[in-house]
A and B are shown apart, each in its own frame.
Chain A
């Protein structure tokens, strides 16, 4: 076998030397080339993966924030509507109350005015009666052409008033 291999230049010493030389190359490549290159590729992969994860996390957080914001807006709108409704209700009540008060006040004013008018009317009537009675008394006095004393004048006025009242 070795003789056959010898015809194509086999020499076990060279074969061993070259194999040992290859083992040195294997050691260099494994330790100083493949190891660092693999480490770098893994690190880059990890960095990229971390970036992707962060982006996905940010996207998720953004979605959550958007949902939260939408919910907040919805909630704020609902609250605003509630406040508006309540304000409207209060305003309606207050307007109604103001209207009622105004009506009441107006009625009161009207009533007071009527009372005052009635009072004035009565007073005026009384004054009118008195003046009319006085005029009547003056007229009677003229007709009778006599002096009427103070006492008599008063009596005439009273009688004239009674007559006017009867008519």
Chain B
């Protein structure tokens, strides 16, 4: 035992299964999400009971955060109407990830054990959480895209058969070149899968690496240095939540039909 260091095992990359309900495994990250749900329920009750037209300081803080999220979204979409449509999902992702990332930094929480396993695991430190979230976001975005474009136009973005036929009607040369577009269109399907992978791995890797680095630093010297890194992790946690939310918003904007004004500006 060393007074100047805190030795802890580096957590594995696999999810920590605590128990099973009807054969369905319950992971430590899922338990932490349940805790987050409870916190949000409490928060919702506070909002419902104490929020008034004349705000308290806490209400001002929450409204400031709310307005900040809307402004951030407006900057991405450049369209208040679009922002209003996707705000609930983007805002939820941001708040969920923010709380999840910050809750993982609460001292002692990860020390609570059940059957020799930690009860609470930072949700974003489990790849399944980030993957599920990213997959869900991309599926929702594609559903919105299908609604906007129609099923045929949506599929036409990936399978540019119509363009190939038109190009071959003009000339064989143009037709040959259009085959490249056909191939590129098909690559966009890979792109959609890549979005899920990149979104999920970016968040997971950042948070997981942060945790490991914290354990290494605590093991080397438990004072001052981990404190700095701790502060850094709070910033990183908030930043990663914002990056994830902004990227989902950006993917949404790429998936929808551009407005007439935006299209004109792009052509210019």
Minimal Cβ-Cβ distance residue in A for B43:
A33
Question: Nearest Cβ in chain A — how far from B170, in angstroms?
Answer: 39
Minimal Cβ-Cβ distance residue in B for A47:
B53
Q: A10-B128, A21-B34 are in contact. Are A33 and B44 (CB under 8 A)?
A: yes
Contact B92 A26 (CB under 8 A): yes
Cα of A5 to Cα of B47 in the assembled complex, Å? 40
Name the one of A8, A32, A34, A40 contacting B127, with C-beta atoms under 8 angstroms: A8
Q: What size tier do the contact residues of chain A reach?
A: 20 to 34
Contact with A along B88-121 (1 / 0, CB 8 A): 1101110110000000000000000000000000
Cα of A32 to Cα of B91 in the assembled complex, Å? 13
A-B contacts counted at CB < 8 A amount to 131
Residue picked from B27, B63, B132, most chain A C-beta under 10 Å? B132
Q: Which residues of A from 37 to 95 have beta carbons under 8 Å from B? A: 37-38, 40-41, 43-44, 47
What A residues does B36 contact at CB under 8 A? Answer: 21, 25
Q: A11-B25, A18-B133 are in contact. Are A28 and B40 (CB under 8 A)?
A: yes
What B residues does A26 contact at CB under 8 A? Answer: 88-89, 92, 96
Q: Kindly state whether residue B211 has any CB partner on chain A within 8 Å.
A: no
Contact B47 A33 (CB under 8 A): yes
Contact A22 B15 (CB under 8 A): no
Cα of A25 to Cα of B35 in the assembled complex, Å? 11
Q: Kindly state whether residue B247 has any CB partner on chain A within 8 Å.
A: no
What A residues does B201 contact at CB under 8 A? Answer: 8
Q: A5-B127, A34-B66, A47-B53 are in contact. Are A28 and B88 (CB under 8 A)?
A: no
Cα of A14 to Cα of B13 in the assembled complex, Å? 14
Q: Kindly state whether residue A19 has any CB partner on chain B within 8 Å.
A: yes
Residue picked from B14, B59, B92, B126, most chain A C-beta under 10 Å? B92
Return 23 A-B CB contacts under 8 Å, by A number.
A8-B13, A9-B13, A10-B131, A11-B27, A14-B126, A14-B129, A15-B132, A17-B128, A18-B33, A19-B132, A19-B136, A21-B33, A22-B96, A22-B133, A25-B40, A26-B88, A26-B92, A29-B40, A29-B91, A29-B92, A33-B43, A40-B51, A40-B63
